[in-house]
Structure 1
């Protein structure tokens, strides 16, 4: 893929260095022990402070918004064209640098590395808040807007063909679905690759998604998730939870919808201490409660990896 002319000009407008070699190439399958952050401070830390201890690539790449839709009443879904050297692992986030906005945004990719390889784009789904980067996306950003991005994060799923099979348990709250959706899409891509190659490449087990939101309108990507479950019924399953819905649920969603929060019984049914690898992303209280529950079930601490949505 050739480098679009806007990319080099965007780099100059940001005063950014050209993309550099030597990007981080460490691979995480069984994650490092969970690092718990101190949440006692009354001042909310910004994205760069919260993630200061996380791995980051060295290069900052110019990029350009090439598509926007409303994923829900509160969430904007962006397609962003990126530099040919840009790369990420399913589950990672970007530092988002916006012209004229002092604060740096931090948003998880909600697309797969496969989409990047095929089309040269990534996708972000950003909920409306008054935090300057999210506010800019909802009020100012348009197709053609130029930004810059740097990949970071130790929360990802990137198996090699030689890795043993694991069963994924993905637990999401609200917009915490974003990195888990990326992981789900990447797992689907690997299964599709296995299908075309005779099943001798990646050792993919099962993946179960527990996803909780206020109502069905806020369940992002639900149609695509259901489609993946139907494409690979022996590998994928999902349970959607709605916590504040008083209206009836659409008929096509009813088989997947549970009213109320994710239960211990549901989690227990998908935990095998020898095989399960769990990824959690959502509000901090949810993450801490579910992490404790999983460890009570015997899931080792080093097989639970989380990203807190603040």
Structure 2
């Protein structure tokens, strides 16, 4: 008897700011959970707000550089050469990239991101991987979806990146989904807004790959129910609409 992986993919279209839209969805989806978080957050604010200062707030706002923001985050040591082997318009404001990474020492876990090094561009980009680790294992490829911005790496991707462009990548990030065969099955609820779907799509794709592997072999990773709730400011900005 063959079972199917169970997940629900729901799209929401909301006018205005995507983050505001996503925040509006959360109470409807996880009301009890959010109420508990808000209660605890209120207590934290009462005890911590006295320690905030205008100087620290301004300093936080100035930390827009990817390397500075993630300086304390663990990274892999491998910096691997990568070649662009696919470029497409995922939406009016988002380009998807497919990168060939031949270095067998390069690997990642679903949900992680990469440092993105571009020859001739001094600023290092930081982009979440949206593909499954299985695509890298089988075809030595990873996929990204990058939103247009004035940030130099994003500008390069939207205005100068072409097939066969060469870059370098390094994996980082402490948020990932990497279940082991002995683990009990987990039910996941994934909530994303706009281009923030990237790491969660990687997790969703990875879960589907693990389930197919179990169904084919009769053993291995057991995956529970997965629900992905996704919002965007309009229908044209809903990414991966054709994803099955």
TM-score, structure 2 normalization: 0.74
5+ long unaligned stretches in structure 2: 1-55
How far apart are residue 201 of structure 1 and its match? 1.2
Partner of 2:94: 75
Are the structure 2 counterparts of residues 39 and 193 from structure 1 closer, same or farther at C-alpha, using a change threshold of 3 Å?
farther
Residue 194 of structure 1 pairs with residue 214 of structure 2: yes
1:171 to 191, 194, 207: 191
| Cα distance between partner residues in 1 of 2:98 and 2:86 | 5
1:118-176, CA deviations, whole angstroms, 9 ceiling, x for partnerless residues? 11110110010010000000001100111001000011100000011111110101100
Partner of 1:296: none
How far apart are residue 54 of structure 1 and its match? 1.1
| Cα distance between partner residues in 1 of 2:61 and 2:96 | 31
Partner of 2:119: 99
Partner of 1:25: none
| Cα distance between partner residues in 2 of 1:219 and 1:118 | 28
Partner of 1:139: 159
Q: Count how many residue pairs are aligned between Structure 1 and Structure 2.
A: 187
How far apart are residue 66 of structure 1 and its match? 0.8
Partner of 1:213: 232
Does the residue aligned with 1:221 lie in a helix, a strand or coil? coil
| Cα distance between partner residues in 2 of 1:170 and 1:97 | 29
1:203 to 213, 222, 244: 222
TM-score, structure 1 normalization: 0.59
How far apart are residue 205 of structure 1 and its match? 0.6
Q: What RMSD over aligned residues (CA atoms) do the two structures have, in Å? A: 1.2
Residue 57 of structure 1 pairs with residue 71 of structure 2: no
Q: Which runs of 4+ in 1 moved over 6 A?
A: none
| Cα distance between partner residues in 2 of 1:92 and 1:74 | 22
How far apart are residue 39 of structure 1 and its match? 5.9
Report if aligned partners of 2:78, 2:105 keep a CA contact under 8 Å in 1.
Answer: no
How far apart are residue 117 of structure 1 and its match? 1.2
Report if aligned partners of 2:130, 2:199 keep a CA contact under 8 Å in 1.
Answer: yes
| Cα distance between partner residues in 2 of 1:75 and 1:48 | 22
